[in-house]
Structure 1
């Protein structure tokens, strides 16, 4: 048996265990309700974390898609939103890849400004300024948390 076959076999067994677990929960309406609430809460928290992380370097969109996938395991609307969002994300990256350098730099600049604005609003810029002896720069204070 090849390594690929072994991996597929292991994934199949894992999928069977998950399906069995889910089927046992579905037999008891009270447990099903609790399970769906837990999946909803976890999926929503992951989704919100992903949305917050989108403008920052790192896996923001991956986290969004993970949150939607968690929600989609129990809620059909989330599965549809996940398919829609993945299609739009792929279309956006394809479009951006076809653009000239000016447009790519413009998108990068706007993303950087969003990151700076959120760091300013969260008072992170003033905090770091204080670490390096620039706490007199009061214009770095957040208007919300300052």
Structure 2
């Protein structure tokens, strides 16, 4: 059985995840911004977030930006620069480099391969989240939206 403190921590994490998603386009959103929003100390919240989700906060923010960008690439006709900016990347070069580090192909190659292929995209994003060990606590409710399930202590 979870303690009251753990339940509160889980509630804070559950509340912060939608806020992060809503603010992904803000290039200035950083770990410090999120920890300040949480009301906990900087290092303490990062430790709690890692314990609760299985992934560190900075990696979670990057992963969400990339997953959201991948969805926009596959299911819209928006340009790569527009998608990069919408997901908090300062330039297309940085976006392309980061995207390629996650998917092993460029955003343009990704669009050619996954455009409007919902099932293939769903499988790919699940593999991405599983690879980054996020699936154990943050469950996919769709290809882009996530729900938080507290880890068992």
Q: TM-score, normalised by structure 1?
A: 0.30
Which structure has the larger Rg? 1
Structure with higher RCO (Cα < 8 A, 6+ apart): 2
Q: TM-score, normalised by structure 2?
A: 0.29
> Which one has the bigger helix percentage?
1
